[in-house]
Amino acid sequence: MKKVFALAGTALLILMPTLLSAQLAGPPDEERAKKDVQIHWSKKNLGDKIQSIESNGEPVLIEKDEPKSNADILYKFPFLVTTKRKDGSVTRTEVGANYIFVRTKGWLFAELGFGKNIVLSDPGKESPDRETVLRLIEENLLQDRWKGKTIENLKIGEAISGIDLDVQWFRYSGEYEVAVDNTIRYSCTNFIVRLLKDDSATEWKLDWKEKGVCRQTTTSNDSSP
């Protein structure tokens, strides 16, 4: 028989006071769990390149009822791991970073658990890396709409892929901020771009679908371009 609780890290100190003594560290946090996913995924999948590790829900505490067990508490962090595989495909996998509580040692990493795996793009049809997408968007903004200004906090979501007449494309939505000078700033949201590249091309081409909405966030009489 097992009991399962969904809770944030330090809440375990309240629920299990008899097990977590002052001499033992509390449960691992999300940043430690992400590092463990990175380390153990790389060991298991040589040649893969992790593109992102995102939270997929709250950590889960599982308490076993067997008192004789040395490791009777399991703590699980759920993640979505997006990876470029060594064959060129890009996948997104449900991964759990599992930890056990050992009375004499505290919290120890146990294993990675694997769930559903989705292929985002096939070999040869993979999306551009995130750094390339951000660079192309920023360069385009500075050449056109915000020439001479400074782009800050540029963020994009996950890619949505498609094909038009055998041309592969990846669509991104996002937001950014613009520093005009020391007092004037704009916050721009809901832009949409596509990156395209046909089979004969070596460079990605950026195509704006929506320029987004920009609002001034500091006091000024100037208007958005």
Concatenated DSSP letters of 31-95: HHHHHHHHHHHHHHSTT-EEEEEEE-S--EEEEE--TT-SEEEEEEEEEEEEEE-TTS-EEEEEE
**Confidence grade of residue 23 (pLDDT, cut at 50, 70, 90):** very low
CA distance 159 to 161: 6
Q: Kindly state the DSSP code that residue 147 receives in the 8-state scheme.
A: T
Handedness of CA 100, 101, 106, 107 (dihedral sign): positive
Q: Is the pLDDT of residue 65 over 80?
A: no
Residue 64, pLDDT score: 64
In angstroms, the Cα distances linking 176 to 150, 173, 224 are: 10, 11, 14
**Confidence grade of residue 7 (pLDDT, cut at 50, 70, 90):** very low
Between 18 and 192, where is the model more confident?
Answer: 192
**Confidence grade of residue 219 (pLDDT, cut at 50, 70, 90):** low
Q: Is the pLDDT of residue 104 over 90?
A: no
Q: For 138-150, write each residue's pLDDT tens digit.
A: 999 999 889 999 9
Q: Is the pLDDT of residue 22 over 70?
A: no
Given the structure tokens 């005009």, which residue do they identify? Answer: 180
**Confidence grade of residue 159 (pLDDT, cut at 50, 70, 90):** confident
With beta carbons less than 8 A apart as the criterion, state whether 129 and 195 touch: no
**Confidence grade of residue 121 (pLDDT, cut at 50, 70, 90):** confident
Q: Which residues fall within 8 angstroms of residue 27, CB to CB, at 6 or more apart?
A: 9, 10, 12, 59, 75, 99, 101, 107
In sequence order, what are the beta bridge partners of 5? 61
Give the angle 141-125-86 at the CA atoms, nearest 5°.
110
Q: Which residues fall within 8 angstroms of residue 129, CB to CB, at 6 or more apart?
A: 51, 84
Other C-beta atoms lying within 10 Å of the C-beta of residue 1: 6
What the block records as the tokens of 40 is 């153990």
- Scored b (16 or more CB within 10 A) or e, 154-183 reads bebebbebeeeeeebbbbbbbbbbbbbeee
